[in-house]
């Protein structure tokens, strides 16, 4: 009987323990008091689409939901009307392809859209700026945000300073290189430092992009005489901008572009050259070996995006180790 009572008593204790454990609320997740933006201050150029990294959760359980609470200017005044008010900008409605070969076809993929200069992505808290920042006054702005997850929420006062600057990036060179090649089709790598690539912009000039190739003495090669040609099977800027005729002069190759569009080449544009697809705006040209003092072709390649679609861009390739032979 004593043995039975001991066993029964132990069973009751175990049952009571399981009941108490089952009723205890299990804590889920974690939210830190030290959540922050790594890029602080965050710099933005007027009129340039820009996105920050996600907010740093400091070990907080994902996903983090972020809500913008306030935005103030440098004087502490509400800046909603400056950064959150929708303005009209021209945007692409879909990707531009090689089939969109006329201005009318290009325009069919453009529309006016009312967008705010600034927003905060609700998942992860990325700071997002659109081309509508062209209407935002330069200066410093400060935001407050609320961050929440399954555990709870925290409010971050002065979470990040945002500095709106005048637009200085009117173009970007994403890639540049050059090779030489002989008549038999053999290619030879060359030092990137032996080719200079510069871009000058005249905001008051016509809507043109002008390419020029000069030798080590600054003497231009003559595209009109066949001294600069397209690389076989590779795209040139004519493929990315087919809307107007290509013009060759005794020192340049020139392209007119549709003024006022969001970017050249167009966002997400693709072209087909010799049956192969290309993206990103990459351009290949060849300086004929019959007009170089080394007797080999000079093959230049670059990927350039033009953000401000007004005025004249002049792109100059300088072959620092090669002389021109007329």
Query: What CATH code is carried by the domain that includes residue 136?
Result: 2.60.40.2710
Angstrom distance (rounded) from CA 319 to CA 326: 16
Site of tokens 């009209």: 88
User: Cα 215 to chain center, whole Å?
Assistant: 32
Q: Does 178 share its domain with 262?
A: yes
Report the candidate in 4, 9, 55 with the shortest Cα–Cα distance to residue 34: 55
Residue 41, preceding peptide bond in cis (omega within 30° of 0): yes
pLDDT along the chain (326 residues), means of 10: 48 49 65 97 92 96 97 97 94 87 94 95 96 94 98 97 93 96 95 96 96 98 98 94 96 96 81 88 97 98 93 98 96
**Residues ≥6 apart with Cβ < 8 Å to 114:** 86, 87, 88
What residue numbers bound the domain in which 267 lies? 171-319
The answer to whether position 87 is within a domain reads yes
Pair 187, 87 in one domain: no
Q: Which of 313, 266, 303 is nearest to 98 (CA)?
A: 266
Residues 118 and 184 in one domain: no
Look at residue 28 and tell me if it is in a domain.
no
Residues 155 and 180 in one domain: no
Residue 3 falls within a domain, yes or no?
no
pLDDT score, position 25: 55
Contact 222, 231 (CB under 8 A): no
pTM above 0.75, yes or no: no
**Lookup: tokens for 78:** 């509400």
- The answer to whether 150 and 29 have CB atoms below 8 angstroms apart is yes
Q: Which alpha helices (H) appear in the chain, and where do they start and end?
A: 2-23, 80-83, 103-107, 237-240
Distance CA 235, CA 27 (A): 59
Count other C-beta atoms under 10 Å from residue 169's C-beta.
12
Same domain, 253 and 223: yes
In this prediction, residue 14 carries a pLDDT of 47
CB-CB contact of 302 with 197 (8 Å) = yes
Does 2 map to a domain?
Answer: no
Pair (312, 281) in one structural domain: yes
Residue 270 placed within a domain: yes
Go through 31-50 and write b for each residue having 16 or more CB atoms within 10 A of its CB, e for each that does not: bbeebebeeeebebbbbbbb
Q: Domain for residue 14, yes or no? A: no
Are 177 and 307 contained in the same domain? yes
The helix (run of H) or strand (run of E) holding residue 67 is strand 65-72
Return the pLDDT at 204: 94
Decide if 83 is inside a domain: yes
For position 26, what pLDDT does the model report?
57
Same domain for 238 and 284, yes or no, is yes
Q: Which of 139, 165, 191 is the last residue of a domain?
A: 165
202 plus 102 within the same structural domain: no
Which of 128, 118, 123 has its CA nearest to residue 72?
118
233 in any annotated domain:
yes
Q: Which of 165, 187, 207 is the last residue of a domain?
A: 165
Pair (73, 53) in one structural domain? yes
**In angstroms, rounded to a whole number, what is the distance separating the alpha carbons of residues 68 and 141?**
13
Do 177 and 151 lie in one domain? The reply is: no
Name the residue among 256, 253, 264 with its Cα closest to residue 213.
Answer: 253
Do 181 and 311 sit in the same domain of this protein?
yes
Domain limit, last residue, from 145, 165, 185: 165
Split into its structural domains, the chain has a count of 2
Residue 177: which residues within 8 A CB-CB, separation 6 or more? 192, 195, 300, 301, 302
């Amino acid at each position: 009987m004593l043995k039975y009572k001991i066993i029964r008593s132990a069973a009751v204790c175990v049952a009571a323990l399981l009941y108490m454990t089952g009723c205890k609320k299990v804590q889920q997740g974690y939210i830190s008091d030290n959540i922050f933006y790594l890029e602080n201050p965050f710099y933005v150029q007027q009129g340039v689409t820009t996105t920050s990294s996600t907010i740093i959760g400091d070990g907080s359980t994902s996903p983090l939901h972020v809500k913008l609470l306030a935005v103030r200017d440098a004087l502490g005044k509400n800046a909603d009307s400056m950064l959150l008010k929708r303005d009209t900008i021209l945007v692409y409605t879909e990707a531009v392809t090689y089939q969109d070969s006329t201005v009318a076809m290009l325009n069919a993929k453009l529309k006016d859209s009312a967008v705010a200069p600034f927003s905060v992505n609700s998942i992860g808290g990325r700071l997002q700026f659109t081309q509508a920042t062209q209407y935002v006054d330069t200066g410093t702005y400060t935001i407050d945000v609320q961050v929440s997850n399954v555990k709870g929420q925290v409010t971050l006062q002065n979470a990040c300073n945002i500095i709106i600057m005048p637009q200085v990036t009117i173009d970007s060179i994403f890639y540049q290189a050059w090779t030489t090649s002989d008549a038999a089709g053999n290619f030879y790598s060359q030092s990137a430092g032996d080719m200079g690539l510069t871009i000058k912009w005249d905001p008051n000039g016509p809507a043109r992009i002008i390419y020029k190739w000069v030798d080590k003495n600054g003497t231009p090669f003559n595209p009109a005489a066949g001294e600069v040609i397209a690389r076989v099977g590779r795209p040139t800027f004519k493929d990315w901008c087919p809307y107007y005729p290509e013009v060759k002069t005794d020192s340049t190759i020139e392209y007119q572009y549709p003024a006022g569009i969001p970017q050249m080449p167009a966002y997400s544009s693709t072209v087909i050259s010799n049956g192969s697809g290309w993206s990103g705006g990459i351009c290949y040209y060849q300086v004929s070996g019959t007009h170089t003092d080394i007797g080999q072709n000079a093959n230049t390649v670059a990927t350039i995006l033009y953000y401000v679609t007004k005025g004249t861009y002049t792109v100059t390739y300088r072959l620092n180790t090669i002389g021109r032979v007329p």
